[in-house]
Structure 1
Amino acid sequence: MKGTQHLTGHRRRGPGRVLGLLLALVTAIGLTSTTALAAPGHTVTSPVAAPRVLSPVSAVAAMQPSWNLGNTLDAIPDETSWGNPPVTKSLFDTIRSQGFRSVRIPVTWSGHQSSTAPYTIDATWMTRVKQVVDWALSDGLYVVINVHHDSWQWIATMPTDHDNVLARFKATWTQIASTFRDAPRRLLFESNNEPQFNNTTDAQGSQYNNELNTAFHTVVRQTGGNNATRLLVLPSLGCTASQERMDPLVSEIDSLKDPNLVATVHYYGWYPFSVNIAGGTQFDATSQKDMSDTFTRIRNTLTARKIPVYMGEYGLLNYPDYHHPARVEQGEALKYFEMLGYEARTTGVTTALWDAFNFLNRTTLQWREPELINQIKSSWTTRSGTASSDRIFLAKSSAITAKTLTVNPNGLSFRGLWQGSKRLSPGQDYTVSGNQLTLTASALTRLAGNRAYGTNATIEARFSRGVPWQIYVTTYDTPVLSDAGGSTNGLSIPTRFRGDRLATMESRYADGSTAGNTSWTPYQEFNGAFSPDYPGNALTLTPDYLNALRDGAQATLTFHFWSGATVTYRVTKSGNSVTGTVG
């Protein structure tokens, strides 16, 4: 998603050309002569000096960290259609106060625009978009606006409706650029969100994407004003950071010969882990390699060539999701966000957290999960230590014994364990051998207390920097499921979880083949095929899963829990009826 060469990048320019660009940038920066562009939280004033002009690389770096106003102006058909309240100025006040330096404001235009020439955007909608953008700019934030869900609503038909799509795309950006031509340089334009084109290969799709990026560049620059040197954000096909999709973007950036370009890509992690499918329950070596390989490609392809990179979206798919139980275990998610912050920082990538409603409650303006956002914030500046798990499970039916976790200091020093303000005693409460942290049976007995099911105590491992690693001492017994009956509209299995938490569900027929709506793996998608209902003491099988079962064939389900316990269950569909029996 970004592609840019900075002012003194690998293309050599004569001194006159450089001076002209500098003067143009001073004009375009949109600040008074007494106020220089400064990092958020700092004001630089001078009654004499002209404002300091940041190179494209420095300007994008000054945008770190960034945040997405997701599912709002990009919602279909209107701003509140996807459950978020109308945007207010106080929202941006909050984002700025929380340390963010920029915001991405995705905008879907199609529902507010004529679908035929001259493709006029509704004036009321344009006024509302401008109001929201102006609020963010007035807080000193950098702002990115784009063409968002239009990408799949009408732009995707370009292979079969080339001329009309191109004309509409140009008309859309002509109107946007004209509206914002005098906005300060802290406003960036992004060509097209996650470009996609129906029934095309990667090579064909990249050609269409490059054609749109060129048209976007030409249209914006021709509108003049501050748009003559405004930073323009160009996406790879799908905003994907694969080599075969970033290479055409680099070629496109080179061909435009414009220093004020930014590349953009998105990252949501190794797919099986991101949605919890195919047994991807942990941020394991495979998931870590996917992340490190992605940032290595970004470094080698873009940032090493002085092309600034704005990662316009990052996160985990549907995490956190406050309409359903968390599909990714919290400790595993914390490890993911900790490493992503480190990789982005060392690669020189500015990252924009995708927040559809998941992280910030737009009504109360409070973070929904403080521990999660604290980990994300910490990753902007330093590493944090983690461990192999954030839970120690103690079977209530067994005597308590010592338990060991693997500590991952991530280059830091381990300082010890605490319960609140009380430090646990080394040697007596725990021992450390290499990266193995062992809590003694006596310490766990004390921490477990009356051994009620669930979390009995919370302790934390502290390191020389970063946020502490929370460890939840948890009492459990193997969950108990009961027989159930229902229909293909859903089956609710009565379940006593007894302090345990569900990790995944494996589903097979008697011949060993996969049973369920995900045919390529027996480990079905969390919340897609099954979902725990902890307050309701039930496990739910979804209509999508049940309707995919073969009629009359019995499916054997194995529920895997985070304690390591497994429970077998059998499900048979007969017409629209479904029965479940304990294995």
Structure 2
Amino acid sequence: MRKTPLSRAASLLIALISVVGLVSSPTAASADKGVRSAMDVVAAMQPGWNLGNTLDAFPDETSWGNPPATKALFDTIRAQGFRSVRIPVTWTDHQSATAPYTIDAKWMNRVKEVVDLALASGLYVLINVHHDSWQWISKMPTNHDEVMARFDASWTQIAGAFRDAPSKVLFESVNEPQFDNATDEAKMSLLAELNRSFHAIVRGSGGRNADRILVLPTVHTSADQKYLDGLASEITALNDKNLAATVHFYGYWPFSVNIAGVTTLDETTQQDLIGYFDRSAKTFVDRGIPVIVGEYGLLSFDVDPNAVQQGEKLKFFELLGHQARINKLTTMWWDNGQHLNRQTLREWTDPGLFAQIKSSFTTRSGTTSSDSIFLPKSGAIEARTLTLNLNGTSFRGLWQGATRLHPGRDYTVSGDQLTLTAEALTRLAGDRSHGVNATIQARFSSGIPWKIYVISYDTPVLSNASGTTESLTIPTRFNGDRVATMEATYADGTNAAPHDWTSYKEYGRTYSPDYAGDSIRLLKDFLGVMREGAPLTLTFHFWSGAKVTYQVTRSGDTVTGIAS
């Protein structure tokens, strides 16, 4: 793979500096000499938040549905406990596509304005080159020289514009670097070339850039050990104490999108998270190199926020916060407008999720094996047992509102087994109408109280339906229950597409329950690839443990559904 000589990057830097009239200033470079070590600075940035789908949107800031960033937004973020903000920036639509790849002055000034607003709110700021990574940087294997020239020109201009910005502004070379049709070895080599050029350009631009903290990603911002090792070698070679590494984390994929029957935070999902954070810490933090988890969340948030069941979701973020804390990783929550209401700046879409994430920054929370106890609508109610996940806390008891339930009479604890008595559940179930009849709290010595919902249900009932390969809406009486997952198999035992390596389909992309609308909708990504004339058996798994089968058949563009 061809290398870009450092002299070429330096020559381009000198040429562009002469155009914009920038002059290196030793005085400016030494103005921030009170700056702490990179480890200390990155630690002070914990916790962080992403201004997603804003300056990274294209063609403009509001194109993806979010309002313009304001001082009030950053004040809110700071007041909610965040200490830093990552401001992703996509430059492509505001830059000439040919040399000298000039960035529009109006856009650069807007980026600077937003950074200044965040700084004025007391936040550290991380800016980057964002969706450009797949728009043109990914073409580097076949368009090497042009990509390098544009990348160098971009960072020369960005570095020049922010040359005298406070040291609380950090630069990230490129978001989620990817390279089309390249081997892993080639990807790491190409990324190393970009990172070296980025480093030389920023450091050579003078001012506070001489010792500003620079953030370098792994390939795909993945924590696979080979990618961590590749970046570690590059950081060692650069011999610069003001560098940080960055990875992203969206969880074990089957859990993160609810596919392949992974509906709970099982052992595999937990170990995936623990291993990811441990590897990052051992490769970098243990050697004095700080790590920023520049994005984290669940992939299903972009499709259906209900794809991962609420209690399992809370357990995931509780564990994530703990692992970040013990491994000394700084985390930046990905929010593209789906979490904080950016119109009102007064509420979170899911207050319980935010409370759990915020709590995890400082302490652990106890949980139980499930947040729901499903009781049959009719017949005798029996005692139910849940497993306590103490997570280093101690169990304090159960409450319903301000009323404490009585140990011994309402519940018992034996080791990690919490058993609610039949008498208590009968009282809590009330008239046993479908749905949540009572909410109780398990309280622990620290963290967020764990909600447990007492639910009455009957087996759900699905009705016949007809539709097209675009959509099929199945009338459904949920009867207090909720869908956990759906299987789809043909009579010959083969699995339906997409993802025919598993019988369990992806929640939100192939099917979507609508509880308010009393229906389950089968979606185009699923219906459009069904075999014609071959009956397909669906098995809906519900959180109560109930299973309901349903048969769908495609004829041309028409799809019919028959209840079993």
User: Which residue, out of 346, 355, 371, partners 2:335?
Assistant: 355
**For residues 474 and 207 of structure 2, what CA distance do their matches in structure 1 show?**
64
1:346 aligned partner, one-letter code:
I
1:352 aligned partner, one-letter code:
M
User: Which residue, out of 372, 379, 382, partners 2:363?
Assistant: 382
Q: TM-score, normalised by structure 1?
A: 0.91
User: Which residue, out of 212, 223, 233, partners 1:251?
Assistant: 233
- Structure 2 counterpart of 1:48: none
Structure 2 vs 1, CA of residues 432 and 460 (structure 1 numbering), >3 Å: closer, same or farther?
same
1:220-299 → structure 2 map (5 Å cutoff): 220-299=202-281
1:523-562 → structure 2 map (5 Å cutoff): 523-562=504-543
- Once the two structures are superposed, residues 364-419 of structure 1 have per-residue CA deviations (whole angstroms, 9 ceiling, x without a partner) of 11211111111101100111001111111111033211111111001111000011
Structure 2 vs 1, CA of residues 81 and 30 (structure 1 numbering), >3 Å: closer, same or farther?
farther
User: Which residue, out of 169, 172, 192, partners 2:154?
Assistant: 172
Residue 195 in structure 1 maps to residue 177 in structure 2: yes
User: Which residue, out of 70, 88, 93, partners 2:70?
Assistant: 88
Please state how far the C-alpha of 1:139 moved relative to its aligned partner. Answer: 1.4
Residue 439 in structure 1 maps to residue 443 in structure 2: no
- Structure 1 counterpart of 2:488: 507
**For residues 500 and 51 of structure 2, what CA distance do their matches in structure 1 show?**
35
- Structure 1 counterpart of 2:463: 482
2:473 aligned partner, one-letter code:
S
Q: Secondary structure at the match of 2:300?
A: coil
> How many residues are treated as equivalent by the alignment?
539
- Once the two structures are superposed, residues 315-344 of structure 1 have per-residue CA deviations (whole angstroms, 9 ceiling, x without a partner) of 11132x5x7451000100100000000100
Please state how far the C-alpha of 1:442 moved relative to its aligned partner. Answer: 1.0
Quick one: percent identity of the two aligned structures? 63
- Structure 2 counterpart of 1:471: 452
Q: Which runs of 5 or more structure 1 residues have no equivalent in the other structure? A: 1-23, 32-50
Residue 338 in structure 1 maps to residue 318 in structure 2: yes
Q: Secondary structure at the match of 1:360?
A: coil
Structure 2 vs 1, CA of residues 30 and 553 (structure 1 numbering), >3 Å: closer, same or farther?
farther
Q: Secondary structure at the match of 1:392?
A: strand
Q: Which runs of 5 or more structure 2 residues have no equivalent in the other structure? A: 1-24
User: Which residue, out of 394, 397, 411, partners 1:413?
Assistant: 394
**For residues 194 and 38 of structure 2, what CA distance do their matches in structure 1 show?**
22
1:123 aligned partner, one-letter code:
A
**For residues 278 and 30 of structure 1, what CA distance do their matches in structure 2 show?**
55
Please state how far the C-alpha of 1:28 moved relative to its aligned partner. Answer: 4.9
Please state how far the C-alpha of 1:52 moved relative to its aligned partner. Answer: 4.2
Contact 1:30 1:183 (C-alpha < 8 Å) held by counterparts: no
1:509 aligned partner, one-letter code:
Y
**For residues 267 and 437 of structure 1, what CA distance do their matches in structure 2 show?**
33
Residue 327 in structure 1 maps to residue 307 in structure 2: yes
Structure 2 vs 1, CA of residues 25 and 331 (structure 1 numbering), >3 Å: closer, same or farther?
farther
CA RMSD in angstroms comes to 1.4
Q: Secondary structure at the match of 1:116?
A: coil
Contact 1:96 1:139 (C-alpha < 8 Å) held by counterparts: yes
- Structure 1 counterpart of 2:434: 453
Please state how far the C-alpha of 1:26 moved relative to its aligned partner. Answer: 10
Q: Secondary structure at the match of 1:318?
A: helix
Q: TM-score, normalised by structure 2?
A: 0.94
Contact 1:478 1:498 (C-alpha < 8 Å) held by counterparts: yes
Please state how far the C-alpha of 1:516 moved relative to its aligned partner. Answer: 2.5
Residue 138 in structure 1 maps to residue 127 in structure 2: no
Structure 2 vs 1, CA of residues 336 and 26 (structure 1 numbering), >3 Å: closer, same or farther?
farther
Please state how far the C-alpha of 1:29 moved relative to its aligned partner. Answer: 7.9
1:40-119 → structure 2 map (5 Å cutoff): 52-119=34-101
**For residues 563 and 378 of structure 2, what CA distance do their matches in structure 1 show?**
21
**For residues 161 and 361 of structure 2, what CA distance do their matches in structure 1 show?**
34
Q: Secondary structure at the match of 1:567?
A: strand
**For residues 29 and 126 of structure 2, what CA distance do their matches in structure 1 show?**
16
- Once the two structures are superposed, residues 457-500 of structure 1 have per-residue CA deviations (whole angstroms, 9 ceiling, x without a partner) of 11000011111111011111111000111111110000011111
- Once the two structures are superposed, residues 33-90 of structure 1 have per-residue CA deviations (whole angstroms, 9 ceiling, x without a partner) of xxxxxxxxxxxxxxxxxx8431110010000000000111101211111111111110
**For residues 58 and 314 of structure 1, what CA distance do their matches in structure 2 show?**
21
